């Protein structure tokens, strides 16, 4: 059952909107390649082409994309691209910025002449080597890894949509990161859901890790047009290489039970049932 809302969703950046937003004094466009909360994969190639045509530098935050998608800077035509090693099983605390030849950027850390005067200070060599090794491994197994993640996410999405009413899949069904699943459950509160899942040993998130601890609904879900009360009931589950289909079954069984239990405690749900509203 679909949620009883039909907002006009804005899960993707519309190239036409970008073209209209670029002004004569625009110096940089920065768009995430894949969203960390709802997994949507943006049409970066098309967007970068628009920036190029207007003579504006284009940066993409590819932190979620690296190790998950086939990323080729020349094909995408981006000027700048950033990545973070720990998102593809590399060491924490190291990342990289790709800078296209001819693109001039200011120094990031002033002082020594390391990294062509861009970032003073001795390089973190073990981190850098670790990142490169992790990236190599990730791309050697990309297809297999993607297939595995896709299987787990599809199983989770299908089972939840089938067994739990009043749920919405956030982000696009096809055009999403293979390991990302993000739902909104109506009539319940994401934080309670997280706590109860945690007690069952299931680690999930209600928004981005950077905002955990905040009780505000996800800015991403609000930005795509979800109403507050529905954005509040959101849950993100992200799979990695060690997850299994048995774990998906375990998650689904627990979700069915917990969502039902929380709804029984929810005055909103009680109201909804009393009024006999139709979904």
Ligand X SMILES: *Cc1c(COP(=O)(O)O)cnc(C)c1O
Residues within the interface to ligand X (CB under 6 A): 32, 36, 61, 63-64, 84, 87, 95
CB of 143 to ligand X, least distance (A): 22
| CA-based max dimension of the chain | 70
Nearer to ligand X, 11 or 189 (CB): 11
H-helix or E-strand spanning residue 98 = strand 95-99
- Torsion on CA atoms 6, 156, 87, 224, rounded to nearest 10: 0
Alpha-carbon distances of 104 from 6, 57, 63, 79, 276, rounded to whole Å: 45, 10, 22, 10, 62
- Angle value at C-alpha 226, between 256 and 182, nearest 5 degrees: 40
CB of 47 to ligand X, least distance (A): 16
d(CA 87, CA 277): 43
CB of 84 to ligand X, least distance (A): 3
How many C-beta neighbours within 10 Å does residue 93 have?
12
CB of 62 to ligand X, least distance (A): 8
- Angle value at C-alpha 138, between 134 and 139, nearest 5 degrees: 120
210 carries an active-site annotation: yes
Nearer to ligand X, 37 or 79 (CB): 37
* DSSP state, residue 258: H
User: Which tokens belong to 189?
Assistant: 């509160």
Which member of 25, 101, 125, 210 is catalytic? 210
CB of 197 to ligand X, least distance (A): 21
CB of 76 to ligand X, least distance (A): 16
What count of Cα atoms within 13 Å lies in the side-chain half-sphere of residue 173? Answer: 7
Q: Any long-range contacts for 134-143 (C-beta under 8 Å, 24+ apart)?
A: 134/67, 134/85, 134/88, 134/89, 134/90, 134/91, 135/66, 135/67, 135/85, 135/88, 135/90, 137/89, 138/66, 138/67, 138/88, 138/89, 139/67, 142/67, 142/70
Helices (H) and strands (E) in the chain, counts: 11, 7
Nearer to ligand X, 61 or 79 (CB): 61
Catalytic residue positions, numbered:
210
């Amino acid at each position: 059952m679909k949620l009883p809302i039909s907002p006009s969703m804005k899960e993707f950046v519309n190239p036409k909107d970008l073209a209209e937003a670029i002004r004569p004094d625009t110096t940089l466009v920065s768009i995430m390649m894949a969203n960390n909360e709802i997994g949507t994969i943006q049409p970066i190639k098309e967007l970068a082409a628009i920036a190029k045509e207007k003579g504006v530098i284009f940066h993409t935050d590819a932190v979620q994309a690296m190790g998950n998608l086939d990323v080729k800077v020349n094909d995408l035509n981006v000027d700048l691209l950033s990545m973070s090693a720990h998102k593809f099983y590399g060491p924490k605390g190291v990342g990289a910025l790709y800078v296209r030849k001819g693109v001039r950027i200011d120094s990031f850390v002033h002082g020594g002449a390391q990294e062509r005067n861009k970032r003073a200070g001795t390089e973190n060599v073990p981190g850098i080597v670790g990142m490169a090794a992790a990236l190599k491994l990730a791309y050697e197994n990309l297809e297999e890894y993607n297939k595995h993640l896709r299987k787990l996410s599809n199983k989770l999405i299908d089972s939840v949509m089938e067994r739990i009413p009043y749920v919405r899949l956030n982000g696009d069904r096809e055009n999403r990161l293979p390991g990302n699943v993000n739902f909104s459950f109506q009539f319940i509160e994401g934080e309670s859901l997280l706590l109860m899942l945690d007690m069952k040993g299931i680690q999930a998130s209600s928004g981005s890790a950077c905002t955990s601890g905040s009780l505000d609904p996800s800015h991403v879900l609000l930005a795509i047009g979800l109403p507050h009360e529905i954005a509040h009931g959101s849950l993100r589950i992200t799979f990695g290489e060690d997850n299994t289909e048995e774990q998906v079954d375990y998650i689904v069984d627990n979700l069915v039970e917990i969502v039902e239990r929380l709804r029984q405690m929810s005055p909103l749900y009680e109201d909804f049932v009393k009024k006999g509203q139709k979904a």
